[in-house]
Structure formats: C-alpha cells, structure tokens
C-alpha cells in the first residue's frame, strides 16, 4: 500500500495490530494515535499506560504473556515499596519505572508528552510514529453503582467489577489534538485510517472526544476501517463486552460498527461474526481476529488495509 496510515489505538489488543501494521507497511509511514485517557499520576509519577504499551510493543520489548509492560521485567522496586508501606495496587516494574521517572522529570521541565514520547520511541528503535492523542490531560472516568471512579481505580484496583452506568472523558472538551495529529489525518498522502481492535468506549472513545479528531475522520478523503475487538460476542481481553451490555447495547461486532457510524467505510470482523446485521452500506470483511502469533498480527493488518483499499474513496493510487 502506498501512502501513510493513521491508526487509532488503546493498549494491548490495539498495539498488537499496530505492530502488524508496522510490519506490512513502511513503518516510517505509520502514525499510531494513542489513547491517553488512561493516563494518571501514581506515586507522583506520570504514567501513560497505552502510550507505553504501544512503544514497548513496537520496540519488541513488550512482555509477550501480559501484553503490557516489559519482557524479563523485575519487581524489586515494588517489593521494597511494599516493605515501606507504600501503595502497591498498581504494579510498576523496575525497568518500566525508567519511562515514568524520566517522563515525569521532562514534563515537569516543560516538555510536551508528544515530544517525550517521540524521543523515547526513537531511543528504543521504533520507526513508526507514536502520537499521544493530546498533550492536555484527558481522564476517563466511569459512573458506577458505587459512584464515579477514575479509570485505573475501576480497571486495575477493582478489576472492572463495578457495573458501569456512564463513561466520561474529563478534560476532553478543552483538550487540543497533539501537534501533527490533524495534519496526519488530512495529509493528501493518507492511504487509510485504521481503528484498532481496542475498547470503543475506553480506548477509542477518548481519542474521538478530543475536538477536531472525530470531525477530521468524518470528513476523511482516505478510507477508514475498524477491526472489531469482539469475537463471537466476547472480548479477547478486558471489559469491552461487559461494559457494552451494562450501557444497554449488544456486545457484538455489529454494535461496534454502529458506534463508529460515519467514521468507517469498512469493518473487519472474525468469521464467527459473519452473520450479524451490520449497518447498511458498510463493507464487512471476514478475517480471523485472534492475534496470538506475529503472523496473525501481520495477516490481520493486511486484511484491514485490504478492506480499506477495497472501500475506495480518494486515497492515493
């Protein structure tokens, strides 16, 4: 495929497809927009979970079992912190800590998250561009049966157990897209927009809530394709299906597609979901959506790009 590709992604699942994309296109032509709605300050450190999962995944450093954090990680910091009576519900590995400490230092010195992220990615040998959705703070919050919760409180400390009534992206309304983000979406050389198989509410929703991004995708000239994070009504990982049901919808690839109405021309869904009632006019392509091996990731990336290409629009030849 000629031209550039912009992918929108959350953490683990999205990062797997982003890695696949980086291996089937020229990675210098790939821009991965990372959700920062999960970012938070923990132990006084600026933690950006999805940004880091993307950087680690694209750098080949990610832990293959967990899908986040670093491979061959050690936990001596956490053990020592526990002995000091510190907060240990959110686990930071020893090598991973370098990202948080150095990011915190640089942000405090006035640098932008975009610049720090670009520099980290470069230092770790990532050829693709990882772009936080915004340099301004956006914080995903969940209204649950127990009141409003910060994302990590809900996601890590409470393991997604509370029932969710509503989702809010605090700060999104006044956040500016990261420098270069709208330019990438409007680039005449843009060949495809790919919405990765991430949680539509927790990972893609915050990105689309930053003023200008949804509009730029809605008025796209290049084709856009989403890859469903649900397979046969279940999420590969995380609370996507549970949350979609709690918010009153179906937990299906079709419901995911309806949620992206106006933003996508094509959907890639697992063969298990071939028989669903999809929005009229949407091109639905079947491809195995489980990404266990690196070959799976490349295959799904190729399927997504082929679906975009088939959807046409005005992408460059």
164-170: strand order across its sheet: 147-150, 139-144, 164-170
Is the Cβ of residue 81 or residue 247 nearer to a copy of itself in the bound state? 81
The residue within the footprint of a copy of itself, chosen from 108, 110, 147, 293 (CB under 8 A), is 108
Task: For residue 193, give the 3-state DSSP assignment.
Answer: strand
CA-to-CA dists, residue 293 to 64, 289, 317, angstroms? 10, 11, 31
Closest approach of a copy of itself to the CB of residue 76, in Å:
4
What three-state secondary structure class fits 3?
A: coil
The CA–CA distances, whole Å, from 249 to 149, 233, 259, 283, 312 equal 21, 12, 10, 22, 30
Q: Please, which of residues 21-80 interact with a copy of itself by CB under 8 A?
A: 43-45, 70, 73-74, 76-80
Determine if 91 is a binding residue for a copy of itself (CB under 8 A): no
DSSP 176: P
Q: Which residues pair with 47 in a beta bridge?
A: 40
Number of residues this chain uses to bind a copy of itself (CB under 8 A): 32
Q: Please state, as a whole number, how many other Cβ atoms lie within 10 Å of the Cβ of residue 94.
A: 15
Q: Does residue number 250 form part of the binding site for a copy of itself (CB under 8 A)? A: no
User: Out of 97, 127, 160, 306, which residue is the one contacting a copy of itself (CB under 8 A)?
Assistant: 97
Stretch that binds a copy of itself, among 7-15, 88-96, 237-245, 265-273 (CB under 8 A): 88-96
Q: How far is the CB of 27 from a copy of itself (least distance, A)?
A: 19
Q: Based on CB atoms, which residue is closest to a copy of itself, 73 or 168?
A: 73
Closer to a copy of itself by Cβ: residue 105 or 165 = 105
Min. distance of Cβ 9 from a copy of itself in angstroms?
22
124 touches a copy of itself by CB under 8 A: yes
Residue spans of beta strands (DSSP E) within 50-138:
129-132
- Cβ proximity to a copy of itself: between 108 and 277 the closer is 108
Contact 38, 140 (CB under 8 A): yes
Query: Could you give the CA distance from residue 284 to residue 287 in angstroms, rounded to a whole number?
Result: 10
Binding-site ranges for a copy of itself (CB under 8 A): 43-45, 70, 73-74, 76-81, 83-86, 93-99, 101-102, 104-105, 108, 119-120, 123-124
């Amino acid at each position: 495929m000629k031209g550039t590709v912009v992918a929108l992604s959350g953490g683990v699942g999205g990062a797997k497809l982003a890695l696949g994309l980086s291996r089937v296109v020229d990675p210098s032509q790939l821009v991965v927009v990372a959700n920062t709605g999960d970012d938070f300050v923990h132990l006084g450190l600026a933690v950006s979970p999805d940004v880091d999962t993307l950087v680690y995944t694209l750098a080949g450093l990610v832990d293959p079992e967990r899908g986040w954090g670093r491979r061959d990680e050690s936990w001596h910091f956490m053990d020592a912190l526990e002995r000091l009576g510190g907060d240990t519900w959110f686990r930071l590995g020893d090598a991973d800590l370098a990202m948080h400490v150095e990011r915190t230092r640089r942000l405090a010195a006035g640098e932008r998250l975009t610049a720090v992220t670009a520099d980290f990615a470069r230092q770790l040998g990532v050829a693709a561009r990882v772009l936080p959705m915004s340099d301004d703070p956006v914080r995903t919050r969940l209204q649950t049966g127990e009141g409003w919760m910060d994302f990590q409180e809900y996601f890590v400390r409470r393991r997604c157990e509370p029932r969710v009534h509503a989702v809010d992206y605090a700060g999104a309304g006044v956040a500016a897209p990261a420098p270069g983000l709208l330019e990438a979406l409007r680039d005449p050389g843009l060949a495809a927009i790919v919405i990765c198989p991430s949680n539509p509410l927790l990972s893609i929703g915050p990105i689309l809530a930053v003023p200008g991004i949804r509009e730029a995708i809605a008025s796209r000239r290049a084709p856009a394709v989403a890859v469903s994070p649900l397979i046969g009504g279940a999420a590969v990982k995380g609370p996507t299906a549970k949350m979609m049901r709690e918010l009153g919808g179906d937990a299906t690839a079709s419901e995911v597609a309806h949620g992206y109405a106006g933003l996508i021309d094509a959907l890639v869904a697992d063969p298990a979901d071939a028989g669903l009632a999809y929005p009229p006019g949407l091109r639905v392509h079947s491809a195995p959506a489980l990404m266990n091996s690196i070959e799976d990731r490349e295959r799904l990336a190729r399927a997504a790009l082929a679906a975009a290409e088939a959807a046409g629009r005005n992408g460059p030849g």
